[in-house]
Amino acid sequence: MTMPTELKQELITDQDVAFYQEHGYHIGPQLFNAGEVEELRHEAIRSLKGENDFDCMPYFGFSGESGFDPDSQEVQFAFNSWWINAKMRALIQSGELGYMASRLLGSPEIRLSLHQVIWKSGQAGDTAQQEKTTVGWHQDAAHFTVFDSPGYVTAWIALQDTDTSNGGMKVIDGSNNWGLIKDAATFFNKDLDALKEKLLPEGKEWVEKDLILKAGQMSFHDGLTIHGSRANLSGQPRLSLVFHMSAQGATYNKHGDYNPMGVQMGPTVKHGDPCQDPWFPKMWPVDNGQ
């Protein structure tokens, strides 16, 4: 696949890259139209249910042990659904996400580290119920220390209009330049005030930015950018697709914290082994596209 120059320029500019490097996030294009968003929502829910388009078994963690429950008040996940869902696999292979990640990370090659479908239920009830869909302030890179990587970037695709009312993502402006913070693997810690106090380095300023997206639009944030989200109070589920991508040169780190992503490297993996196909598919270049 050779991506036309005009499409590349439409997807991301030099100014976008400069902003990302300074602030740690980028509001990307509205890549999918209304019909495509509906298709993606349908396929996302199929993924949550574990419905399989291929012969392989699903990866771990499909909506917990009890299976997907649309009436649950919890956040529900499908991890690496590209293993079993043809549409998710096509997104990885399409080139657009990988190309934008390549530009943002300044890397000639991009590989997928982890893909997620996230269902954030719409809360209506007491405070305790609402807190179930709060996502703690965290750094993605802190969750991925089972690998050594020159850099991570995450693409977050909204499958409905997304803002503060339905638990849209918030990022801490410029926190990508604070380095990897000790004990920042805190996705499931819902005490946002305590996390702010814990994660804010001395002399730094905590500036929250809301990533407000249209359906089919995407945002990007750096693996070191602190981010999280508050409860979804809209009464309707918030669906998103998430693609964690790594710069060229990611390797297995036996000293990193446990993560099931490391398990997929297999029983014979050695410290320093590269993250390669098929577990970590190349997203850019695609078919030698440039």
For residue 274, tell me if it sits in a domain: no
For residue 265, tell me if it sits in a domain: no
Beta strands in 3-53 (DSSP E): 25-30
86 half-sphere exposure, CB direction, 13 A CA radius: 4
Chain segment 195-218, per-residue pLDDT in tens: 999 999 999 999 999 999 999 999
Q: Does residue 146 come out as left (phi exceeding 0), alpha (psi in the -120 to 50 range) or beta?
A: alpha
For residue 12, tell me if it sits in a domain: no
For residue 279, tell me if it sits in a domain: no
For residue 239, tell me if it sits in a domain: yes
Chain segment 132-143, per-residue pLDDT in tens: 889 999 999 999
Q: What's the domain range around 162?
A: 17-63+72-259
| Total tally of structural domains belonging to the chain | 1
The residue that leads in pLDDT, 96 or 2, is 96
For residue 9, tell me if it sits in a domain: no
The backbone torsions φ and ψ at residue 124, rounded to the nearest 5 degrees and listed phi first, read: -150, 100
Q: What is the spatial distance between Cα 174 and Cα 28, in angstroms, rounded to a whole number?
A: 18
The CATH number linked to 82 is 2.60.120.620
pLDDT recorded at residue 290: 47
For residue 267, tell me if it sits in a domain: no
Mean pLDDT of the chain: 92
For residue 266, tell me if it sits in a domain: no
pTM: 0.94
